[in-house]
Amino acid sequence: MVAKNKFLHYLGLPFHYFRLICFWVGFAVITMIGVTTFLIFLFFHNLPDVKHTTFNELKTIAQKEIQNRYENKKLRHRWVSIQNINRDLIYTLVMAEDADYFKHRGIDHDAIINALFENVKADEIKYGASTISQQVAKNLYLSNERSLVRKIKEYFITRDLEKYLSKNEILEIYLNMAEFGPDIYGVAAAAKTYFNTTPKKVHAAQGAFIALMLPSPRKYHYTLFQNRNFTPSLKRKYRRILRDMRFKEYISPAQFRRYLNYPIFASHKK
């Protein structure tokens, strides 16, 4: 009888341990689900409330951010409405940075795929794929940190910007926040620095030159503006911007030919 009871005892041990394992595995899974759900909740809870933020409030956020970025704290940023920016300047910057801006809804998936292939070929993160809307999302709310979490945040903020703002409103924020050189933020400062004029008077040739400062404004301010080193790659980009402008019929063939030979260094302020 005793032997029989021992046999039943040992026979039941595997089932006992199996139940314990099931319990702890289930507990771990439920805990992981709970923690994941809580983290997802915190992630979305901490995203900016673009839906209930007016355009004027976004402008205030943008200007505060720019004031914080100035190295010379005595400088004051000047905001320019999109109505007071020459169409040629607007489209040269769009052609340079995000040619399909008016077609996509914030994320250019084709550009992401192309950038991925280029990065694989170069074996480094050399090419980005940020649209103008993504740059606005980053400039308004995010840091320059390169991480997956930041890119995910950028995606959702961009989605909301595209949903609750017009294309022109997003573009106006971009044109006023973009960096064009050391302490040169926005098209008003860029037009004044490089051509001693206003954004209203900047034509396509001047706009293409200003666009050359992107996406490395401090580097190209020094190379192109201060040292007047108009490298072959920069010349190709300059021609490409003007060619795209002609193709889109933003400028005429006659303007295109004239602007190709525009005396940039003779006309801008040094």
Other Cβ atoms within 10 Å of 266 Cβ, number: 6
Would you state the pLDDT for residue 78? 93
Provide the token pair at 253: 């063939």
Is residue 37 classed exposed, middle or buried when 0-12, 13-18 and 19+ CB atoms within 10 A define those classes? Answer: exposed
Specify the length of the chain in residues. 270
pLDDT digit string, tens, across residues 202-257: 999 999 999 999 989 999 999 999 999 999 999 999 999 999 999 999 999 999 99
Averaged pLDDT of the chain: 84
In degrees, to the nearest 5, what angle opens at C-alpha 266 toward C-alphas 261 and 270?
Answer: 135
Provide the token pair at 156: 């959702």
User: What is the Cα–Cα distance from 236 to 230, expressed in whole angstroms?
Assistant: 10
pLDDT values of the chain reduced to their tens digit, one per residue, 270 residues = 545 454 444 445 565 556 667 766 776 777 777 766 655 555 555 778 889 999 999 999 999 999 999 999 889 999 999 999 999 999 999 999 999 999 888 887 666 666 555 544 444 444 455 899 999 999 999 877 777 788 888 999 999 999 999 999 999 999 999 999 999 999 999 999 999 999 999 999 999 999 999 989 999 999 999 999 999 999 999 999 999 999 999 999 999 999 998 988 765 544
